[in-house]
Amino acid sequence: MEKVKKELKLRGYSQKTRKAYLHQIRRYTRYFTKDPKDLDEEHIKDYILHLIDKEKVSRSYHNQAASAIKFLYDRVLNMRRTVDGLPRPRKEKKLPVVLSHEDVVRVFESVENIKHKAILMLIYSAGLRVSEVVKLKVRDIDAERKLIHVKGAKGMKDRYTILSDVALETLDIYLKSYKPQKWLFAGTKKTRHLSTGSVQKIFDSAVKSAGITKDVSVHTLRHSFATHLLESGVDLRYIQELLGHKSSKTTEIYTHVSTRDLGKIRSPLDNLFKKEG
């Protein structure tokens, strides 16, 4: 495990990924209670099948387990052939749930705490991931240029995204009230930033108060940001840049949930009844 830790650090994996891979590799090695060098491809497949059939894990967990085990044999044990034929789960093609403009307004109106409101407004207005908003520092907000500097985001990439005038007004009230020093949104301990779990609880509470029954998470605000931009006529390339997507194919999913073009299509049922009327 020490070799795994060392290799993950040397290859620049994020702390979140390192933690996940270590968990998966520990679980794999404990399952067989044998030296991984003595295991072959069939052992690995049996273990993955155990996760699918017995543990009923999700596709994403299955894929993460396969990635971690592949890393172990590829990068640490130098036994690439052992995992060359390891199959991966097919990606699910689920469409994101999106809030309407009215729903977003109701979410914000249901939040009284100015810190909580500032967090949710920044996520929606700039298309931030929850892991990005909690790691923002006071100096990352460029009020003059109306930009937010997102550092070390997914894939260890930096980017700039837009800073809304409305969000800035709320943020100014928050800054004057809380006077944060380092982290824009500090946790209970001022030396640490707010946790992603805390932000999810803030969002869940706001959604409940707003009376919204859709199956949503705080990440839905990011999906809604992208979809609403697309519906307002913003080019997909700019949305890709604001979201920090590596591939345009990732951003294209929002074309399937946008009502910009679908809203122009009239159902034949409506046409039938219009004629009869």
Phi, psi angles (nearest 5°) of residue 222: -65, -45
Task: List residues bridging with 160 in a β-sheet.
Answer: 149
| Nearest alpha carbon to residue 114 among 207, 179, 209, 211 | 179
How far is residue 23's CA from residue 28's CA, in Å, rounded to a whole number?
Answer: 9
Give catalytic status of residue 9 as yes or no.
no
Give catalytic status of residue 47 as yes or no.
no
- Set 115, 222, 223, 228: catalytic member: 222
Give catalytic status of residue 228 as yes or no.
no
Give catalytic status of residue 129 as yes or no.
yes
- Set 129, 193, 223, 228: catalytic member: 129
Residue 138 · residue 180 · CB < 8 Å:
yes
Q: Rounded to an integer, what is the distance from CA 267 to the centroid of its chain?
A: 35
Give catalytic status of residue 222 as yes or no.
yes
- Set 27, 62, 154, 260: catalytic member: 154
How far is residue 233's CA from residue 210's CA, in Å, rounded to a whole number?
Answer: 28
**CA-CA-CA-CA dihedral for 107, 110, 113, 116, to nearest 10:** -10
Task: List residues bridging with 193 in a β-sheet.
Answer: 186
Task: List residues bridging with 189 in a β-sheet.
Answer: none
Question: In this structure, how many other beta carbons lie within 10 angstroms of the beta carbon of residue 233?
Answer: 7
Give catalytic status of residue 246 as yes or no.
no
Sign of the Cα torsion 46, 49, 50, 53 reads negative
DSSP per-residue codes, 83-114? TTT---PPPP-PPPP---HHHHHHHHHT---H
Task: Calculate Rg over the CA atoms of the chain.
Answer: 23
User: What residues are labeled active site?
Assistant: 129, 154, 219, 222, 245, 254
